[in-house]
Every structure is written in structure tokens, then in C-alpha cells.
Chain A
């Protein structure tokens, strides 16, 4: 497979690490080379979180460089705006339209930016509603994974078995519904 660079962003607690873990698992299952870079620790207390996923042969660095991402998968609008600069020419932004206010906005010392992403190839969707319909607000990440699956050439059953391998068994049904909701659009 040709090299594919994916950036996943959101707010600490939104299940970003789980999403990159599923993608990594899937890529390996498909026989691809893969590297994933995460940041644990301080940033997880409600701060911005970013993970990098690189798939393909001959991937050395675990980091996606700015301007080289094929996909930015964002769980929140401000984080989508912040991460857009990672996209290459023609790269695709997939973002949840939910807004989660950061502390400076909550306290009134800053404004939530009033603008839309500049990327031409953008899929913006209310993933929170779709996740709630699927059974849990926490499944936003899997809805977005479903949207990403529309663009990638891997078969649906492979995605679903990767999800099964990575999520807690109790949440599997909800997560599969969430994935299919994202896939179908």
C-alpha cells in the first residue's frame, strides 16, 4: 500500500488513543508496515491530544510532518482548525462538528474561533448525535473511524474485527453500530 499518514486529534478523554490503537491493529492485520505515536500524561487532563498513524512500507519516523497528512480525523471543531495544517494538498479532513469549550473560553478570557476549516475536502458531521443513536455518546471516535473507512480500501469485516479486538467486549455492539453509522453516512 502507498504510504498513508493519518492525524487524529481531539480533547483528552474522547478516546483518541483507542482510535489509533484500532487503526494500528488493522494495518498490521492487513500486512502493512505501521507506526503510531501517542502522547500520554499531562495532555490527557482535558487538553488537546494528538496521535500520529503512519501506514505503508518503509515508514521510518513515527510522526506525520505538517503538510503530509492524507487524513486528519478530528473529534472536535477547534482541534480540527488547529490540526488542518497537517494536511497535504488534496488531503481530507473528517471532523465531528461538536464544540468543546477550552478553559480560556469558559472563563471568558478568549473566544471560540468563529470560522470554518479551509480544506476543500472536508467531511463535517454531527458524530455525537450518531454516537448517541448508536447507544453511547462515548462512541464518537468509532463513528469517525467509520467515515474514514469510506476512504480507505480495506474491507468492512476487517475494520470490524479490529474494533472487536480493541474495545471492551461490553461495548462491542454499540461500537459496531457506531462504526456502521459512520460508514454509511
Chain B
């Protein structure tokens, strides 16, 4: 019987059916659920790696050693994993290696709109692009077959609307894949110049062959209808095109790199006008134009955001005008009531610090009323940026500056810049928001949380020992002890050494202790607690009231009320 699956679940199923043995990933919306669904199949060894580079290296090791392996990540994760990937394209694989990379047009949950198809082209790695959940399953299986057949890693490229859309899937059974022979082969796997030069030729030859074969791959297909308009598209965009332009002829690309050149030529010759409809970069359009074919696309669609059936209809001059969303008060996301990050940033605000921020739930503290983040670039950037600012503006500036990042983000990319700061004689202060979980992406375990992906006990990374070994002065404090935490922060920002302040308190969503909500008597309406930006505190003309359905009784507002008007909650 068919089952409704999100694209990510279907990919996990496809991996399982393909006989995959190893899955190693780092979370990132919209890719995270693939690995979480994989973990439900006991036949696959699944792990959250500290970052995408380690994830791909682990999967590559598994593939080289003979087992099919999968790594999943969001588009920016591919940047982190680019180093092993670009050279894995030279060495090739032994058993299949697939990288599921999820792009996020419109940046529903991302910091940029980069296009994995571009990276794939510069890395010379083939790309498959499914268009619904059934194809997610089938293309995953195909990706492993192609990986082995052409001896290359293969990208499975998704977008948010595919990863997080449900459609019916007919699932199959697992085909066990016996381990492939492992043979020592330095000419193939030791990429020093002499060997790499030969392998680079192999990459070129492989790509030429695949380009020719692409013309007869069933995942690329022409649907001839009215010949006035021919549309080239892939992925979920194919669905928008079918809905908006039911009469148009369509070339649907399943293998979106390398492109099936002869198929495109003959399609172009049969239609009056050839148009590419694609989100993000004009990748197909440029490739097709480089073949010397007349084509258009981005003059209509632009580089930014998502398409939809309505947009495609409009771009081609059809359909009624589309109603616009009314301009109403927005509802931006906010830190949860009881979130430990709130106290940390409140203390920084009190000390009037410059904050080099990072990526995680805590990035929400950039929004009013907290408004305490000066920068967010990429995971782990805060630590190096604070050191760079000190180099530019001197130690005096460093005394009013902190770098702030979460536990998962620190492990991902914050350790090496901390080593650099100590080595370079910096006096920076780094605050690690140790909420014992990877919060933003929906509660994944990490090496500091003491559990593995299945929730079983695992060796726990000792953050303070690590930072001390690096040579930093380490202080640990619960930020909900607001007074002490502020004092520590003051001392360490003033100090002339590299310090790490570990703000340790579990994510409120993990805290199962039942606490009485807080309540306010005789509010003076001074507004002190409103600076916390807690969704449970509501300003009225008669004073602040506490929404008892939202309050978790963390008691932070009690600590900031100058009139002791708030009672209840945590002591």
C-alpha cells in the first residue's frame, strides 16, 4: 500500500532499500529528517558527525572500504564538506557514495540562497534531482547505482518544497549489498600530484561518457505537447510548470548534471521557443546557451526566492492577478519562554557588549527587544571574527566584546579559531551557550550531549577540559544565576587572556521538571521585565501580566523585577 511520505523520509527509505550501511550527516534544515528517518532502520549505522566535512570523510571512508554510504546536509553544509568532496571526485569511490544536499530557495531557514548545482559543476560531481517523494526514493537508489557504475560520488539535490512535502510513495524491500572487495590502490586513492594528474584525466573521461549516456537515461524525458513553447525544468519546478502550463512541451531533467546535450538539441529544434524555468541560479540556461542554443529564462524568473504555479503562470502572461498577502503585524519567531539563551543575552546587554554572534536558536536574540547581536555569518565564525576585530581595534575594544555560539556550533567550527586566538596572544572572550543539544534544527544529539542519535548513552565531550587544553581560561555558570553570570562575564571580558565562559543550562524543552508559573502582584509597570522579550510577559495599561499557559516558571523575570513584584516559579 502507498504511504504518504515527506521527501526526506522517502530518501531514507531509498537508502535503506539500496543496501546502505553507513549514514553520517550533520543536521541542517531542510535536510535533517533524512538522517533521523535513516536511524529508524537498524541495518544502517547512523551518526551525527560534528560537522559536514567529518560526515563526508566518514562516508567516503566507508565507501572506499566497500560499504554504500550516505551523507546529508543543507546547502551551506556542502561548503564545509567541499574539501573532501572536490578530491573524492578525483579518486572515485568503491561502493556507492551519495551526498543529499538540500537547497533552501527563499531562505525559509538559511543564511543564503546558494545553488548546489553550481558547486556540483565546479567539483565535477553528477547531480540527480527528484520532483516528488516517489522520485526521492527511486532517485536515491539510482544515485547509488550511478555512483558505482561511474565510480564517482553523486549529489542528490533537494529543495525545501521537496524535502518537506508529502506525496504518496510505493516502497520496496531492502536489497543487501555484500561488502565490495577492498584493495590497496595508491594510484587511485593517494592524491599527490603525480597520481592526481592521472585521476583528473579520469574525471574528464567519466564526465564525457556520462554526458553521452545522459541522452538515454530514462530519468531525463521529453513530454511533447504543443510545440509553440518548450520548457526545460527539474525538481519541484517541474510540478509548477505542469500545473501552470498544462499544454507546454516539457523536457524534465532528472540528471541535472551533466546535461543530456543531444536530447536538449533535438527538443530545442522541435519547439518554437525554448525557455528554462529554474529557481536560483541560471544554471541550465547558461549550460544550454553554451551549447549554442537560443534560450531564455532568468529574464523572467530572477535569481531570488521560490517559484510556484501561480508565478509561472504569470511569467507566461496567463492567469488572473494573484491576490497579495495583506500587510499585518508580523509574527517573527522568538526564543521560547524559559530559554536559557535569554538570560545570557540579557547579561550582555547590561554590560553593553559588542556581540559577534553565530547560528542557532540564539540568533533570534538579534531581534527586538533583546537586539543583542552584531553579526551572524556562518557556523563558528564568531570566534575568529572577535579575534579579527581585536587585531583591528586593539585590546580595549576586546574588553567590551564577546563571541557567542552554541555547543553544537562550537564543536562544528569553533574549536580551531579558539586555538588560533590562544596561539595569537588574543584576549578575546568566547561564550559557549551549552544547552546540551542542537536546538535550532529540532533537538539532535551532539558529542557534548552524552547521547547518540538513538538517544542511547555515548561518551560525552568535556567542553571545559577541551578549552583548558587549548589554553583558554574557562569559567562555567548557569546563566539563570543572573548576578553571578554577569559578574563572570564582566571579569572575563576585562581580562587580558583568552577566556571561555560556558553558559550551562539545558534547553527548556528538555527540562521535564514541572514548575509553577510565575505571577505578578502590584506591578509598577516599569518595563524592566519586558526587556527580556519573553512571550509569556504581556504589557497592558494596568501593568504586565503573565500568560500562565505559556509561562514555564523559569523565574528569570523575578530576578530582573526591581520591585519584587513577581512570585512563583523556580526558586
Given contacts A45-B334, A106-B539, contact A39 B533 (CB under 8 A): no
A108 to B369, CA, bound (A): 10
Contact B161 A37, beta carbon cutoff 8 Å? yes
B307-321, CB under 8 A of A: which get 1 and which 0?
A: 011100000000010
One of B55-63, B297-305, B360-368 at the interface: B360-368
Q: Does A36 contact B (CB under 8 A)?
A: yes
* Chain B residues whose CB sits within 8 angstroms of the CB of A47 once the complex forms: 331-334
Q: Does B325 contact A (CB under 8 A)?
A: yes
Contact A45 B108, beta carbon cutoff 8 Å? no
From A40, A84, A113, give the contact of B30 (CB < 8 A). A40
From A39, A46, A48, give the contact of B164 (CB < 8 A). A39
Q: Does B329 contact A (CB under 8 A)?
A: yes
A67 to B336, CA, bound (A): 34
One of B147-155, B239-247, B396-404 at the interface: B239-247
Q: Does B288 contact A (CB under 8 A)?
A: no
* Chain B residues whose CB sits within 8 angstroms of the CB of A42 once the complex forms: 29, 108-109, 333, 440
Q: Which residue of A lies closest to B2 (CB)?
A: A28
Q: Does A185 contact B (CB under 8 A)?
A: no
Q: Does B127 contact A (CB under 8 A)?
A: no
From B240, B310, B333, give the contact of A12 (CB < 8 A). B333
From A37, A65, A66, A104, give the contact of B325 (CB < 8 A). A66
From B164, B309, B535, B538, give the contact of A40 (CB < 8 A). B164
Q: Which residue of B lies closest to A106 (CB)?
A: B538
- Chain B nearest Cβ from A2, distance in angstroms: 16
Given contacts A33-B168, A62-B167, contact A40 B329 (CB under 8 A): no
For chain A, the count of residues having a C-beta within 8 Å of the partner chain is 52
A 124-169 contacts with B by CB, 8 A = 137
B 515-567 contacts with A by CB, 8 A = 530, 533, 535, 537-539, 549
Contact A60 B309, beta carbon cutoff 8 Å? yes
* Chain B residues whose CB sits within 8 angstroms of the CB of A60 once the complex forms: 239-240, 242-243, 309
Contact A65 B332, beta carbon cutoff 8 Å? no
- Chain B nearest Cβ from A170, distance in angstroms: 16
Given contacts A60-B243, A65-B308, contact A103 B166 (CB under 8 A): no
Contact A81 B328, beta carbon cutoff 8 Å? yes
Main secondary structure of the interface of B (DSSP, over half): loop
A 82-100 contacts with B by CB, 8 A = 82, 84-86
From A39, A46, A65, A85, give the contact of B334 (CB < 8 A). A46
A110 to B368, CA, bound (A): 12
Q: Does B217 contact A (CB under 8 A)?
A: no
- Chain A nearest Cβ from B418, distance in angstroms: 27
Given contacts A65-B309, A137-B549, contact A107 B368 (CB under 8 A): yes
Q: Does B186 contact A (CB under 8 A)?
A: no
* Chain A residues whose CB sits within 8 angstroms of the CB of B361 once the complex forms: 45
A51-68, CB under 8 A of B: which get 1 and which 0?
A: 000000000111101111
* Chain A residues whose CB sits within 8 angstroms of the CB of B434 once the complex forms: none
Q: Does B70 contact A (CB under 8 A)?
A: no
Given contacts A28-B2, A60-B242, A78-B329, contact A107 B334 (CB under 8 A): no
A162 to B441, CA, bound (A): 28
A40 to B27, CA, bound (A): 13
* Chain A residues whose CB sits within 8 angstroms of the CB of B164 once the complex forms: 37-40
Given contacts A42-B333, A45-B335, A45-B364, contact A37 B322 (CB under 8 A): no
A96 to B139, CA, bound (A): 42
A 17-59 contacts with B by CB, 8 A = 20-21, 24-25, 28, 33-48
Contact B239 A62, beta carbon cutoff 8 Å? yes
- Chain A nearest Cβ from B544, distance in angstroms: 10
Other A-B contacts than A28-B168, A107-B539, 16 sampled, CB-CB below 8 A, are A36-B167, A39-B108, A41-B109, A43-B109, A60-B242, A63-B308, A65-B308, A65-B309, A66-B323, A66-B325, A67-B320, A81-B326, A103-B535, A108-B539, A110-B329, A113-B329
12 inter-chain pairs at a CB distance below 8 angstroms, sorted by A residue, are: A38-B166, A41-B109, A43-B108, A47-B334, A66-B324, A67-B320, A84-B326, A103-B331, A103-B369, A106-B539, A107-B369, A107-B530
Which 3 A/B pairs are nearest by Cβ-Cβ distance? A41-B109, A41-B29, A47-B333
Question: Which residues of A are interface residues toward B (Cβ below 8 A)?
Answer: 11-12, 20-21, 24-25, 28, 33-48, 60-63, 65-68, 78-79, 81-82, 84-86, 101-113, 137
Question: Which residues of B are interface residues toward A (Cβ below 8 A)?
Answer: 2-4, 6, 29-30, 32-33, 108-109, 132, 160-161, 164-168, 236, 239-240, 242-243, 308-310, 320, 322-326, 328-336, 361, 364, 367-369, 440-442, 530, 533, 535, 537-539, 549
